[in-house]
Amino acid sequence: MLKATGAGGPVWALGAMSGTSLDGVDAAMVLTDGEVILDFGETGYRRYSSGEEAVLRAALGKWPGANDLGAAQDLVEAAHIEVLSRFSGAEIVGFHGQTLAHEPRGRGTHQLGDGSALAQALGLPVVWDFRSADIRFGGEGAPLAPFFHFALAKRMGAERPIAFLNLGGVGNLTWVDPAKAKPDESGALLAFDTGPANAPINDLMTARRGLPFDEDGRLALQGEVAQGALELFLDEPYFRKMPPKSLDRDEFADLLGLVAELGDADAVATLTGMGAAAVLQAMEHCPQPPERLLVCGGGRKNPVMMAMLRAALDCVVDPVEAVGLDGDMLEAQAFAHLAVRVARGLPTSCPGTTGVAAAVSGGTISRPRA
């Protein structure tokens, strides 16, 4: 049985992530003691159908207590149980849930899904509700992958600062100083959301073309970035805020309005340029330039986005596969790692990652009933 607190040996943990791009559920196994990543195991994916995506999209922006969330919650839990049930050998599960709303300075954060239902179905302890404790102590509640990124930098044997960039629905950046001993040590990490990434591109592709995303950046490649729209985008107050800072998926809700009069190709090229420009703005906050920027999430598969980043940045820009990692599974792996940290009383966020007052261990642990 996994030790509840304190030091313990490595265990196989199973993590799951359903992101703001609403494409499906990623699941992955990690062998970890909560501090060191020893090995990566099996991975799995359960895509949402177009009908299921529509159910989740209709729930976006809603808070606990809304009377029409039943179908979305049932879907989230059933989809997770379906994919997680395929795995064997896990001792603990990390369940992020589906983010519907995120307002750290207002109503808090809402990840749909009941971890106790998963614990009962899977017969395993499930760690969930990772973000609420951080917000209660003054943090942004996001991003939460940085402590995992720190462990990855150590596993890679990095000696100089590196950065991880996740380009999902929203982009987020983690700057890591691997010379530090622990992730919550002062100066070890700086992390924050960069701005919109894939979400507005996906939304436009869905609205105009009936397609879930711009595959291989093909449409963006045919268009040109509208500089006026880009300048208006970069004038958003968010970019003048100092990190740590975080975003809701739809905080830049008027983005599609900025490209409404553009043709499809120019509109997608402009939204892609906005995602890259947000990253460029974010890199200026790094305590020192990273030696390398490692990109995960769906955006790394967009050659137009990657070319824009490489043209704008002085450091090496690579997909995480360049260092032997799986860019589709990093967030699922992160929540496997974080689940073990929670079970052992180790912090999952700190002032440098979320702006929380002090290092805090978030998460609720639900165990299957006898």
Tell me what pLDDT residue 250 has: 61
* More confident position, 81 or 6: 81
Query: Do 277 and 167 lie in a common domain?
Result: yes
Largest CA distance in the chain: 62
Q: How many CA atoms lie within 13 A of 14 on its CB side?
A: 26
Query: Do 98 and 230 lie in a common domain?
Result: no
Q: In the predicted model, what is the mean pLDDT of residues 36-52?
A: 97
How far apart, in whole angstroms, are the C-alpha atoms of residue 170 and residue 251?
Answer: 10
Query: Do 84 and 229 lie in a common domain?
Result: no
Answer yes or no: is pLDDT of 305 > 90: yes
Q: List the structure tokens of 287.
A: 């305590």
Query: Do 133 and 21 lie in a common domain?
Result: yes
Query: How many structural domains is the chain composed of?
Result: 2
Which candidate, 177, 204, 208, places its Cα nearest to that of 191?
177
| β-bridge mates for residue 37, sequence order | 32
Answer yes or no: is pLDDT of 364 > 60: yes
Does any domain span residue 351? Answer: no
| Choice among 6-15, 126-135, 263-272, 276-285 with the minimum mean pLDDT | 6-15
Distance of CA 177 to the CA centre of its chain: 20
For residue 233, give the 3-state DSSP assignment. Answer: helix
Answer yes or no: is pLDDT of 115 > 90: yes
Is the Cβ–Cβ distance between 189 and 349 less than 8 Å?
no
For residue 62, give the 3-state DSSP assignment. Answer: coil
Answer yes or no: is pLDDT of 102 > 90: no
Tell me what pLDDT residue 248 has: 65
Does any domain span residue 2? Answer: no
Does any domain span residue 292? Answer: yes
Interval 321-347: pLDDT, tens: 999 999 999 999 999 999 999 999 999
Answer yes or no: is pLDDT of 1 > 50: no
Buried b / exposed e along 191-215 (16+ C-beta atoms within 10 A): bbbbbbbbbbbbbbbbeeeeebbbe
**pLDDT-based confidence at 67, cuts 50/70/90?**
confident
Report the chain's mean pLDDT, rounded to a whole number: 94
Tell me what pLDDT residue 26 has: 96
Peptide bond before residue 143 is cis, with ω within 30 degrees of 0: yes
Interval 203-234: pLDDT, tens: 999 999 999 899 999 999 999 999 999 999 99
How far apart, in whole angstroms, are the C-alpha atoms of residue 38 and residue 12?
Answer: 10
**pLDDT-based confidence at 252, cuts 50/70/90?**
confident
Does any domain span residue 3? Answer: no
Tell me what pLDDT residue 344 has: 97
Is the Cβ–Cβ distance between 275 and 203 less than 8 Å?
no
Q: List the structure tokens of 147.
A: 């402590």
Tell me what pLDDT residue 354 has: 95
* pTM for the structure as a whole: 0.93
Does any domain span residue 355? Answer: no
First to last CA, the chain: 15
How far apart, in whole angstroms, are the C-alpha atoms of residue 138 and residue 249?
Answer: 20
Does any domain span residue 27? Answer: yes
Tell me what pLDDT residue 7 has: 57
> For the chain, what percent of residues have pLDDT higher than 70?
97
Interval 149-186: pLDDT, tens: 999 999 999 999 999 999 988 899 999 999 999 999 99
Query: Do 35 and 177 lie in a common domain?
Result: no
Element (H, E) at 194: strand 189-196
How far apart, in whole angstroms, are the C-alpha atoms of residue 275 and residue 302?
Answer: 11
Query: Do 18 and 105 lie in a common domain?
Result: yes
Query: Do 235 and 303 lie in a common domain?
Result: yes
Tell me what pLDDT residue 337 has: 98
Query: Do 203 and 311 lie in a common domain?
Result: yes
Tell me what pLDDT residue 249 has: 58
Interval 2-19: pLDDT, tens: 544 445 899 999 999 998
- Residues whose CB falls within 8 Å of the CB of residue 299, separated by 6 or more in sequence, listed in order: 167, 168, 171, 197, 198, 275, 305, 306
Tell me what pLDDT residue 5 has: 40
Query: Do 81 and 227 lie in a common domain?
Result: no
Tell me what pLDDT residue 79 has: 98
Does any domain span residue 294? Answer: yes
Does any domain span residue 122? Answer: yes
| β-bridge mates for residue 176, sequence order | 162, 189
Query: Do 108 and 165 lie in a common domain?
Result: no
Looking up tokens 């760690």 gives: 127
Domain with 49 in it:
11-139+332-346+361-366
- Phi, psi of 209, rounded to the nearest 5 degrees: -120, -10
Tell me what pLDDT residue 6 has: 45
| Choice among 54-68, 81-95, 215-229 with the minimum mean pLDDT | 54-68
CATH number at residue 237: 3.30.420.40
Query: Do 70 and 172 lie in a common domain?
Result: no
Q: List the structure tokens of 170.
A: 């929203």
Answer yes or no: is pLDDT of 313 > 90: yes
What letter would DSSP give residue 298? G
How far apart, in whole angstroms, are the C-alpha atoms of residue 343 and residue 331?
Answer: 18
Tell me what pLDDT residue 212 has: 87
- Phi, psi of 299, rounded to the nearest 5 degrees: -65, -25
Query: Do 164 and 273 lie in a common domain?
Result: yes
